[in-house]
Structure 1
Amino acid sequence: MHTIWKGSISFGLVNIPIRLHSATEDKDISLRTLHKECHTPIKYEKVCPVCNKQVEKEELVKAFEYTKGKFVVLEDKELEELKKVNEAKAVEIVDFVKIEEIDPIYFMRSYYLSPNEGGGKAYTLLRKALQESQKVGIAKIVIRSKEQLAVVRVFENTLLMETIYFPDEVRAASDVPNVPAETDVSKRELDTAIMLIDQLTTEFEPGKYHDDYRTALMELIESKKNGETVIPKERDVPESNVMDLMAALQASIDKTKGDEPKKPAAKKKRAAPAKVKKKA
């Protein structure tokens, strides 16, 4: 597994040399943009619209736009100095908390941590201490010139670091438009909805979920490579104009009755949250 960062984990006076490895990978299929006439990939050139000319790499500078059309230019040397001051190669654990206290909205990207030379015993100590205490570490780390808040926890006998958003990076739910206030829901509707949830409740098995769109896209690509004509199969789309909520709930329950019974979910302690993919 490729090492993307080397440094250490520190908590108190304990220092553990570690390596960082990406725990996930983006499986998106990348498509190129071609000229329709000759199938040549299109080049995207940097052009100044005022000077009306192409700009070379050495002519570019970085800047912050503090108001529309007004910039503060930052020199590469200034950015490098700032980076050196702040980019200590350490994952500094500043607090320990229960993972149940962290809402999944904060989670970003996962990284495996492996011990570097001489760090095996201290690595094992931290892993066992986290397991026994049922806590996770809240840490700070600088990755790619950006300070990140992170959670250090145990996943399948391996230390895992998950970067999380700072509180001011999470938008307030109260700002979401058109969220209804309390609406009258009948007891019958609520009971039926809960019944539907119960019938669809099972144990979480990650292996049974697949990216159907990516699979279909790869099949289309392979077929076109072989000169075959493919007509994509239409998927059943539920009607969106059902006005009778109770009828929709009952129809959903009736549909689940014909499916294979689901294995009831075992009551267990909350596992670490699964993340929707976001950009690191």
Structure 2
Amino acid sequence: MHTIWKGSISFGLVNIPVKLHAATDDKGVKFRTLHEKCNSPIRYEKVCPVCEEEVGQDDLVKAYEYAKGKFIVVEDEELKKLKGEAEDRAVEIIRFVKMEEIDPIYFEKSYYLSPNDGGGKAYSLLRAALGESGKVGIAKMAFRSKEQLAVLRVYNDTIVMETIHYPDEVRSTEDVPNVPAKTEIAEKELETAILLIDQLTAEFNPEEFHDDYREAVLKFIESKRTGEEFVTPEEKDKPSNVTDLMAALQASIDRTKPTTTKAKEAKPATKAKTTKKKATTKTKAKKNA
């Protein structure tokens, strides 16, 4: 697994040398853009719109746009001084909290942490302490040109670092348009909605879920590559335009019922068949007597 960062976890006076690894992969199908005339991949070049010339990497500088069309140029060395070398290599745990206190909206990206040379025992100690306490660590670190807030937790015996947003990075729900105010809900509608939730409730098993679109695209691409005929899968039933909320809920419940109802109906039929068989056997026995 590729190491994308090396540093240490500061846990009180305990220092744990660690390596950082990406915990997730983006499996989306990526397409290249080609020139239709010759099927050559298109290159995207940096061009100055004023000088009308291509600009190389050495000709670029960083700048902050504080107003429309007005910039403050910032040097990399100036930013480096602000950040500090020590901060760039340390993950400092500043607090411990319960995981359920953090709303999922704050979570950004997951990384695996592994111990670096000599850090195995301290890593194991922190892992055991997190597991035993049922808490997660809130940490700060300088990562990818930003002071990052993170959560340290245990997943499958591995310490995971979840980068999380700062409060001012989470947009206010008050800015979301057309959210209805609290509305009077009929008791029957609420009961039916809860019944539908109950019928669709199951233990979460991530292995059950697949990216159907990605699989279909890859299958289609493979069929084009090999020259095989591609058959489009049948579309699933789309929800009907039911304007009556109660009718829509009832229709949804009816759609989730059949599998369980059929199973229950099958049992009495089996008993009836068995009873009939026993009765036939008794009749034969009487005739033989």
| TM interval, short-chain normalised | 0.7 to 0.9
Tell me what 1:114 maps to.
114
Identity, % of aligned pairs?
65
SS of the residue corresponding to residue 43 of structure 1 reads coil
Tell me what 1:142 maps to.
142
Q: How much does 1:237 deviate? A: 5.3
Q: TM-score, normalising length from structure 1?
A: 0.88
Q: How much does 1:28 deviate? A: 1.4
- For 1:228 and 1:64, the matched residues in 2 are separated by 53
Instruction: Write out aligned runs for 1:98-247 (5 A).
Output: 98-230=98-230, 232-233=232-233, 235-236=235-236, 238-239=238-239, 241-247=241-247
- For 2:126 and 2:189, the matched residues in 1 are separated by 49
Pick closer, same or farther for the CA change 1:117–1:57 going to 2, 3 Å.
closer
Pick closer, same or farther for the CA change 1:81–1:240 going to 2, 3 Å.
farther
Structure whose residues are more often helix by fraction: 2
Amino acid at match of 1:191: E
Q: How much does 1:229 deviate? A: 4.7
- For 2:259 and 2:58, the matched residues in 1 are separated by 63
Kindly indicate whether structure 1 or structure 2 has the higher relative contact order, using CA contacts under 8 Å at least 6 residues apart: 1
Q: How much does 1:56 deviate? A: 2.1
Q: Deviations over 1:123-165 (max 9, x none)?
A: 1111111111111000011111211100001111111111100
Q: How much does 1:92 deviate? A: 0.4
Q: Deviations over 1:192-238 (max 9, x none)?
A: 00000000000000111111111011001101111235353352352
Q: Does 1:55 align with 2:26?
A: no
Structure 2 unaligned regions, length at least 5: 262-289
Q: What root-mean-square deviation, in Å, do the aligned CA atoms of Structure 1 and Structure 2 show?
A: 1.7
Contact 2:106 2:165 in 1 (8 A): yes
Contact 1:86 1:142 in 2 (8 A): no
- For 1:150 and 1:21, the matched residues in 2 are separated by 15
Tell me what 1:2 maps to.
2
Q: How much does 1:83 deviate? A: 4.3
Structure 1 unaligned regions, length at least 5: 262-280
Q: Deviations over 1:27-86 (max 9, x none)?
A: 111100011121111111111112222222222111111111111111233234334446
Tell me what 1:277 maps to.
none
Amino acid at match of 2:56: E
Q: Does 1:257 align with 2:257?
A: yes
Q: Does 1:94 align with 2:94?
A: yes
Contact 1:87 1:145 in 2 (8 A): no
Q: TM-score, normalising length from structure 2?
A: 0.85
**In the comparison of the two structures, how many residue pairs are matched?**
261
Larger radius of gyration: 2
Contact 1:140 1:147 in 2 (8 A): yes
Pick closer, same or farther for the CA change 1:172–1:26 going to 2, 3 Å.
same
Q: How much does 1:17 deviate? A: 1.3
